[in-house]
Amino acid sequence: MDLVLESFLLSLIAGMGTGIGGIFVLLLRRSSDRFVGFSMGFASGVMLLVSFNNLFLEAEGLLTHLELIITFSLGALVMIALDLTIPHIELTRAAKKGEGESSKMSRTGTLIAIGIALHNLPEGLVVAAGYTYLPRLGLIIAIAIMLHNIPEGVASAIPFTSTGMKSFKIATITFLSGLAEPVGALVGAATLSLAGTKSVIGSSLALAAGVMTYITADELIPVAHEYGHKHTVSVALLLGIIFALLVDVILS
């Protein structure tokens, strides 16, 4: 039971990144393109490093090569299917440009918030899989996902600010969209605690690596480049990788 509760709390902290992003927008009232691009680039570096240096390598020691390939691919395919059904961060293009009337921007913000909430469910499973296998790994993943959630919270809040919505309501919406993450962690941790065999845990780690790699390649990096400042994004990505390596060393 401690494992389930600890995974839940860790994922709750990761999910709060969405709300933190929303608060950034409210405090600054206007986020510069360079800041958003930098934050997404930094999160990309952290996510990629954790996906391969932690999740993938740990799964490699628990699965055959064929199992590793299948489960990694499955994780990416799950996110592709979810993205095709309910796109979310791609809507930041409209939010960034400030296109359309107030009602249209409100709808854009709502769609992004709903999309983030639904995408956070498998992210919660990722945290649970890592923590079940090794608590240190779960902590590293939670940090990575929290950093990933901050720019998503920014993306969700920007359309609402342009409609004149009250700050408290914007903050509430962005925080609530992150609460799906601990729900996913609760389900994942409970399942793994009951059927936590070597093969199941290894498959969960490889699946998680696929999920995080897809999120980075399809969402974070492309959207970061939409804000311009290509070199800023590249430098931020490298800094994110270095940061993740340092966190790994510190927690080892």
**Contact criterion met (CB below 8 Å) for 191 and 7:** no
**Contact criterion met (CB below 8 Å) for 11 and 124:** yes
Span 33-53, pLDDT tens digits: 777 788 888 888 888 988 888
Span 77-109, pLDDT tens digits: 988 887 777 665 554 555 555 555 555 556 656
> Cα–Cα distance between 126 and 19 in angstroms, integer?
20
Mean pLDDT taken over the chain: 79
Per-residue pLDDT at 73: 94
> Cα–Cα distance between 225 and 86 in angstroms, integer?
22
SS3 category, 162: coil
> Cα–Cα distance between 12 and 129 in angstroms, integer?
15
Q: What is the CA radius of gyration of the chain?
A: 17
In one letter, which amino acid is 176? L
**Contact criterion met (CB below 8 Å) for 58 and 205:** yes
Nearest one of 9, 10, 15, 13 to 156, comparing CA atoms: 15
Q: How many H-runs (helices) and E-runs (strands) does the chain carry?
A: 12, 0
> Cα–Cα distance between 252 and 1 in angstroms, integer?
25
Within 10 A of 51 (CB to CB), how many other CB atoms are there?
27
For the chain, percent of residues with pLDDT exceeding 70:
81
Using alpha carbons only, what angle is made at residue 208 by residues 206 and 214, rounded to the nearest 5 degrees?
105
> Cα–Cα distance between 7 and 187 in angstroms, integer?
10
- Helices 65-85 and 102-133, axial angle in degrees (round to 10): 160
The pTM of the full predicted model, rounded to 2 decimals, is: 0.76
